[in-house]
Amino acid sequence: MSSLIGNAQQNNESKVNDLTVNQQSSLPVLAASKLSKTFNEGKNSVTVLHGLDLSVQAGEFVSIIGSSGSGKSTLLHLLGGLDLPTSGEVRVHGELLSAMNETKRGDVRNKSLGFVYQFHHLLGEFDAVENVAMPLLFRRDVHVDEARSQAIELLKKVGLGHRLDHKPGELSGGERQRVALARALVTRPSVVLADEPTGNLDRKTATDILALLGDLRRDLGMALLVVTHDESLAGAADRIMHMQDGRWLS
């Protein structure tokens, strides 16, 4: 009898665990609900985002298009936990960012999110490998040799295997952005948030970088959220969303 009870309990626990896994796998990797942001400037206040909803599934490529000042970058900062909304919520893998302290949000950014900007923000005194390895070195559980190995692997993937020991000042604009892309991917994030990633590049280089982003997204199984003002560069996305004055256009 006791063995029957034990088996029944194990079966029930297994079903609960399977249900939990299925629920987690069905969650969007990144979601925003009724997201608003207001900035106070003296006696005046400016609302730049108005109750936005957004959901990004695993492996999905979403482009957000809008003119300068439409609120795209502010939205990306909120989605990445770099700032907190005035109202509404952001969840990464179902976890509420605003319920976390800054240390916990930093952990989520490091492990689940990658960031690519219009300007590469590389550290000039470090070579390509060191720049790419930097996010891993913030983790206490990754040895420096392992961090360097993963950085080299990513740099080879983005076509810079011959530039490993070059510093940013020795690289072209396109090469610097490739290093920045490798840095964003080295932690194997669930989502990469890219803010005008090609805005500082010529058309051919920009097209090459976006094609590379798409290839890496498929290879690594990550989601990609790109904000841009250039519709022609957003055409490769699975879904395109248009923003104007902090609102979605229907």
Within a domain: 7: no
- For residue 101, the domain's CATH number is 3.40.50.300
Is 54 strand, coil or helix? Answer: strand
Within a domain: 169: yes
Within a domain: 10: no
pTM across the whole model? 0.80
Per-residue CA distances from 31 to 158, 186, 214 (Å): 29, 23, 21
Within a domain: 196: yes
Domain count, the chain: 1
Within a domain: 89: yes
Domain that holds residue 243: 27-248
Within a domain: 149: yes
* Contacts for 228 with CB less than 8 Å, ≥ 6 apart: 63, 64, 65, 72, 196, 197, 198, 199, 234
DSSP state of 198: T
> For every residue of 116-151, which 3-state class applies, written as one string?
EECCCCCCCCCCHHHHHHHHHHCCCCCCHHHHHHHH
Q: What are the start-end ranges of the E strands in 159-222?
A: 191-195
Within a domain: 17: no
* Contacts for 55 with CB less than 8 Å, ≥ 6 apart: 28, 30, 31, 32
Tokens of 93: 């893998």
DSSP state of 99: G
Query: One digit per residue, pLDDT tens: the chain, 250 residues?
Result: 545 445 545 555 544 444 443 444 578 899 999 999 999 888 889 999 999 999 999 989 999 998 888 888 899 999 999 899 999 999 999 999 999 999 899 888 888 898 887 666 888 899 999 999 988 888 777 788 889 998 998 898 888 899 899 999 999 888 888 898 889 888 889 999 988 877 766 777 777 777 777 777 788 788 999 988 777 777 778 899 999 999 998 7
